């Protein structure tokens, strides 16, 4: 896992190949706005989160975010334990995101 600044994260999702943007917030948080082209798997679902993560392609690069960066750091650590090689945590999370946003 690597902690990426907002700038590093934006550059990575723009230039890397095989990128998956993973939002680990709750549905209510996602409805308030999210980063485009993300998939949402709520880390607070516990085993349900692990079950859904297990279905993902471990060879891709995962850019993971939450509201502040704490839950996404946990998600990256769990994913690394599960065999995912490349995960990037967004420092400051969605609260500090300055890139494009989709509002429901």
The reply to whether 65 falls in a domain is yes
**pLDDT score of 75:** 98
The reply to whether 101 falls in a domain is no
| 76 is an active site residue | no
Q: If 0-12 CB within 10 Å is exposed, 13-18 middle and 19+ buried, where does residue 44 land? A: exposed
Region of 98 on the Ramachandran plot (φ > 0 left; ψ -120 to 50 alpha; else beta)? alpha
CB 89 within 8 A of CB 4: yes
DSSP 87: E
Domain that holds residue 82: 2-96
> With bands split at pLDDT 50, 70 and 90, how would you rate the model's confidence at 44?
very high
The reply to whether 77 falls in a domain is yes
Active-site residue identified among 66, 75, 90, 91: 66
The reply to whether 86 falls in a domain is yes
What is the reported pTM? 0.96
Quickly count: other Cβ atoms within 10 Å of residue 24's Cβ. Answer: 29
């Amino acid at each position: 896992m690597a902690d990426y600044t907002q700038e590093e994260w934006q550059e990575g999702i723009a230039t890397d190949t095989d990128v998956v943007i993973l939002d680990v917030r709750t549905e209510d948080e996602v409805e308030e706005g999210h980063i485009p082209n993300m998939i949402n798997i709520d880390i607070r679902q516990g085993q349900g989160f692990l079950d859904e993560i297990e279905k993902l392609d471990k060879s891709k690069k995962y850019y993971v975010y939450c509201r502040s960066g704490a839950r996404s750091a946990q998600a990256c650590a769990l994913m690394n334990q599960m065999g995912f090689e490349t995960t990037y945590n967004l420092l400051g999370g969605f609260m500090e995101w300055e890139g494009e946003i989709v509002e429901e």
